[in-house]
Structure 1
Amino acid sequence: MRVLHVAECFAAGVRTAMLEYIASTPMVEHIVVAADRGEPMPESCDGYRVIAMADGHLARIRQVRELCQALHPTLIHAHSSFAGVYARIGCGDVPVVYTPHCFGFERGDLSIAARRVLWMVERSLARRTAVIAACSRREAHLAQRIGASSICIPNVGRFGEGISHDVIEESRNGVSEVAFMGRITPQKDPGFALEAVRRITSLGDGRVRFEWIGDGTAADRARLEDAGVRVTGWLPAQEVAAELSKCAVYVHTAAWEGFPMAVLEASQLGLPIVARAIPALDGMPEEFLGDDPETVAAIAVQTISAPHTPGACATRWDEALSGNTRDNQRDALLTAYSQATGRATQEG
Structure 2
Amino acid sequence: MKTVLHITEAFGGGIQTALCSYAKTTNGDPIRHLLLARLRPKDDTGMAVNALFDEVHTVEGSLLNFFLAARKAVLDIQPDVIHLHSSFAGFLGRYLPKGKAKMVYTPHCYAFERRDIPEWKQDIYLRLETFGLSRIDVIAGCSERECDLAGALGAKRTIHLNNYADLDDAVSKQPLNTDSEKINVVLVGRVSPQKDPHFLLETLKSLKAYPESDKINFHWLGGGNADMEKALREAGVEVSGLIPHAQLLERFKQADLYLHTAAWEGMPLTILEAARLRVPMILRIIGATQNLHYPFLVSTPDTMAKQIVRFYQNRHHPDYQDSIEVFNREFSAEKQREALHLIYGS
Task: Give yes or no for TM over 0.5.
Answer: yes
**Does 2:80 match 1:77?**
no
**Which residue of structure 1 lines up, in the alignment, with residue 20 of structure 2?**
19
Q: Specify whether residues 24 and 338 from structure 1 end up closer, same or farther in structure 2 by C-alpha distance, changes over 3 A only.
A: same
Would you say the 8 A contact 1:159–1:241 is kept in 2? no
Q: How big is the shift at 1:34?
A: 1.3
**Which residue of structure 2 lines up, in the alignment, with residue 32 of structure 1?**
35
Would you say the 8 A contact 1:209–1:229 is kept in 2? yes
> Pairwise mapping of residues 1-348 of structure 1 onto structure 2 (< 5 A)?
1-26=2-27, 27=29, 28-37=31-40, 38-44=42-48, 45-48=50-53, 49-93=55-99, 94-148=101-155, 149-161=157-169, 163=172, 167-169=175-177, 173-203=180-210, 204-285=212-293, 287-306=295-314, 308-309=316-317, 311-338=318-345
Distance between the aligned counterparts of 2:233 and 2:136, measured in 1? 43
Query: Per-residue displacement from partner, 1:225-256 (whole Å, max 9, x unpaired)?
Result: 22221122333444323212222210000111
Q: How big is the shift at 1:168?
A: 2.3
Query: Per-residue displacement from partner, 1:99-131 (whole Å, max 9, x unpaired)?
Result: 001111111112111111111111123211010
CA RMSD between the two structures: 2.0
Would you say the 8 A contact 2:140–2:159 is kept in 1? yes
Q: How big is the shift at 1:338?
A: 1.1
Distance between the aligned counterparts of 2:315 and 2:245, measured in 1? 30
TM-score by length of 1: 0.90
Distance between the aligned counterparts of 1:201 and 1:35, measured in 2? 44
Distance between the aligned counterparts of 2:326 and 2:98, measured in 1? 43
Q: How big is the shift at 1:283?
A: 2.8
| 1:206 match: secondary structure | helix
Would you say the 8 A contact 1:179–1:249 is kept in 2? yes
Q: How big is the shift at 1:77?
A: 0.9
Q: How big is the shift at 1:258?
A: 0.8
Distance between the aligned counterparts of 1:98 and 1:82, measured in 2? 11
The one-letter code matched in structure 2 to 1:195 is E
| 1:168 match: secondary structure | coil
Q: How big is the shift at 1:205?
A: 4.3
TM-score by length of 2: 0.90
Q: How big is the shift at 1:213?
A: 1.2
Would you say the 8 A contact 2:20–2:52 is kept in 1? no
Would you say the 8 A contact 1:182–1:214 is kept in 2? yes
Distance between the aligned counterparts of 2:232 and 2:117, measured in 1? 23
Query: Per-residue displacement from partner, 1:9-29 (whole Å, max 9, x unpaired)?
Result: 111112111111121122322
Query: Per-residue displacement from partner, 1:132-151 (whole Å, max 9, x unpaired)?
Result: 01111101111111111110
Would you say the 8 A contact 1:285–1:316 is kept in 2? no
Distance between the aligned counterparts of 2:302 and 2:132, measured in 1? 40
**Number of corresponding residues:** 336
Would you say the 8 A contact 2:195–2:263 is kept in 1? yes
State which drifts further: 279-288 or 58-67: 279-288
